[in-house]
Amino acid sequence: MLRAPMVGFAGLVFAATGVGILPAFAQSGYDRPGGDYASAPVANGDPAVCASRCERDKVCRSWSFSYPSGGGLAMCWLKREVVPPVASDCCVSGVRGAGVAEPKRGEIEYSIDRAGGDYRSFEAAADPAGKPCADACKAEPRCRAWTYHRPGYGTAGARCYLKDHIKPPRHRPCCISGVVR
């Protein structure tokens, strides 16, 4: 008896939004190209600032945040419609009401800095998951944790910090970290 109304409601949600009933959250690693009506730099480089801007703007239906590149600032793009997401390492995107949830992938800690405990640092290749840094740490017996500093946050290039002490995590959009041993 209750099943028919629920199926009908799910169909209405699907038809109205173009998506099924899925939890609303921002998607790291996705852009939403098109539909822009406003853009602004994000000085601190935090995708949550972009999500918050969309929440406060009645016209906004979705948004895309692009990480800083080439020495420029991070950017926030507000959109009049819910534009479908497209995989892209440059960005984080979401719909109004979603907020920002960084992906949790095992040992990788997105938007986390583990400041201190460094015994070695080096320039690293740009990588959306900090893989060169994680691989370097796994290859060295002394390394217990690592932090990858994304390009565009204070420097043009990426930098890797290998640590022989595990320090407490701090939320900072500039960084990706991990604990190995």
| Residue 69 domain flag | yes
Q: Is the pLDDT of residue 127 over 90?
A: no
Please provide the average confidence, as pLDDT, over all residues in the chain.
81
What's 151's domain CATH number?
A: 3.50.4.10
pTM above 0.85, yes or no: no
- Residues 32, 58 within the same domain: yes
Q: Would you say 81 and 74 are in contact if contact means Cβ atoms under 8 Å apart?
A: no
| Residue 37 domain flag | yes
Position 153 scores a pLDDT of 84
Reduce the DSSP state of residue 82 to 3 states and report it: coil
Q: Is the pLDDT of residue 65 over 80?
A: yes
- Residues 58, 77 within the same domain: yes
Range of the domain at 76: 25-95
pLDDT in tens, 145-155: 999 998 888 77
